[in-house]
């Protein structure tokens, strides 16, 4: 099977759906002529024109409000916020409007929109351009939250998100854009709410998200040389969350490490730990549930400090060793 980059997989999904459904349009800052802050939408303006690839003023609230209005009147907008940090400027529209309209109007309207946004550290973009804020939106009823880790999943999950009748927050880690993987050329969906075991193992389960999946897989390869077989589980969507797959893996291995980039306090790791503790997997645990996450600090500009602010491969290896020693 051919290999393409994560960014190319997203672009391919957008192109496929825009060709298939004339109601789909793209909107955001610099997505047209410039092709997006990370080049994901390059070439789409030339194919679909300015009516369907719309550059906007710098106003995240206006972009989001436009999408909500378009969605409830029959369109299927896909918006881009250049950096996830700036999603804070759209919170009223997302949380009080998009997430609640279907409920408050008794199901008479739906809000089929996708908000795409690059997140995460590793590019030296400092504290205001490097955050991972997915846990904010997992907390909001009415929103779905997607975090792909591979080009294959990025394409399939985005197609599924664009065809969903609910607002979807689609989180793309910046460091994944240039990663390559096998991606079918045809139209396919990866269903929302279905996790995947990326690597089978018997000793420890790692539940990781986004950029932490490739780091966990690399750590698992190193640990295998020590005789420790790690199972790596990727939720792929944080809401809806596939608790069955996660619990089944933890029940099998008896040990679990949860890894994410966002700050540990209030991060998605706490919810994952609670879900495991409330499931039958609790009775199979040989050691306490362990979380490995970002430090509770803004992301530093300095590259060395930036690297130490979030989990790296060596931190995952060390945390798994600690789990094995604990029981």
Per-residue pLDDT of 227-283, as tens digits, reads 999 999 999 999 999 999 999 999 999 999 999 999 999 999 999 999 999 999 999
pLDDT in tens, 172-230: 999 999 999 999 999 999 999 999 999 999 999 999 999 999 999 999 999 999 999 99
287: left (phi over 0), alpha (psi -120 to 50) or beta: beta
Considering the chain, what percentage of its residues have pLDDT values greater than 90? 99
* C-beta atoms surrounding 119 within 10 Å: 26
* Domain region containing 114: 3-182
CB 248 within 8 A of CB 231: no
Say yes or no: 16 and 43 in one domain.
yes
Query: What's the pLDDT at 1?
Result: 82
Say yes or no: 157 and 217 in one domain.
no
- Secondary structure (DSSP) of 196-216: EEEE--SSEEEEE-TTHHHHH
pTM for this entry? 0.97
Count of domains forming the chain: 2
Catalytic positions, written as ranges: 129
| Final residue belonging to a domain, choices 158, 182, 206 | 182
Round to whole Å and give the CA distance between 189 and 192: 9
- Tell which residue, 190, 290, 146, 179, has the closest CA to residue 230: 290
Whether 189 is covered by a domain: the verdict is no
Query: What's the pLDDT at 327?
Result: 74
Q: By CB neighbour count within 10 A (0-12 exposed, 13-18 middle, 19+ buried), where does 252 fall?
A: middle
Which CATH number covers residue 83?
3.40.50.970
């Amino acid at each position: 099977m051919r290999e393409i980059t994560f960014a190319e997989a997203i672009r391919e999904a957008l192109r496929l759906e825009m060709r298939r459904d004339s109601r789909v349009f793209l909107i955001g800052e610099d997505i047209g002529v410039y092709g997006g802050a990370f080049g994901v939408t390059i070439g789409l303006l030339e194919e679909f024109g300015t009516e369907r690839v719309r550059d906007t003023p710098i106003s995240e609230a206006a972009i989001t409000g436009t999408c909500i209005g378009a969605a409830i009147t029959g369109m299927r907008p896909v918006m881009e916020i250049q950096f996830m940090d700036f999603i804070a400027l759209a919170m009223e529209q997302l949380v009080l409007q998009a997430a609640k309209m279907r409920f408050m109007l008794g199901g008479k309207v739906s809000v089929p929109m996708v908000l795409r946004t690059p997140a995460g550290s590793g590019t030296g973009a400092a504290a205001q351009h490097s955050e991972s804020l997915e846990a904010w939106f997992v907390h909001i009823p009415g929103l779905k939250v997607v975090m792909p880790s591979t080009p294959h999943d990025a394409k399939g999950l985005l197609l599924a998100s664009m065809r969903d009748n609910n607002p979807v927050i689609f989180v793309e880690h910046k460091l994944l854009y240039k990663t390559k993987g096998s991606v079918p050329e045809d139209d396919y969906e990866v269903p929302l709410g279905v996790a995947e075991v990326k690597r089978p193992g018997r000793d420890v389960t790692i539940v990781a998200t986004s950029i932490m999946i490739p780091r966990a897989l690399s750590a698992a390869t190193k640990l295998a040389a020590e005789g420790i077989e790690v199972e790596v589980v990727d939720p792929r969507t944080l809401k809806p969350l596939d608790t069955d797959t996660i619990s089944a893996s933890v029940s099998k291995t008896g040990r679990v490490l949860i890894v994410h980039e966002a700050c540990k306090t209030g991060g998605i790791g706490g919810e994952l730990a609670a879900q495991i503790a409330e499931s039958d997997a609790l009775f199979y645990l040989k050691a306490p549930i362990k979380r490995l996450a970002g430090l509770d600090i803004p992301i530093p500009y300095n590259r060395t400090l930036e690297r130490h602010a979030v989990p790296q491969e060596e931190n995952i290896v060390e945390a798994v060793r600690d789990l094995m020693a604990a029981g």
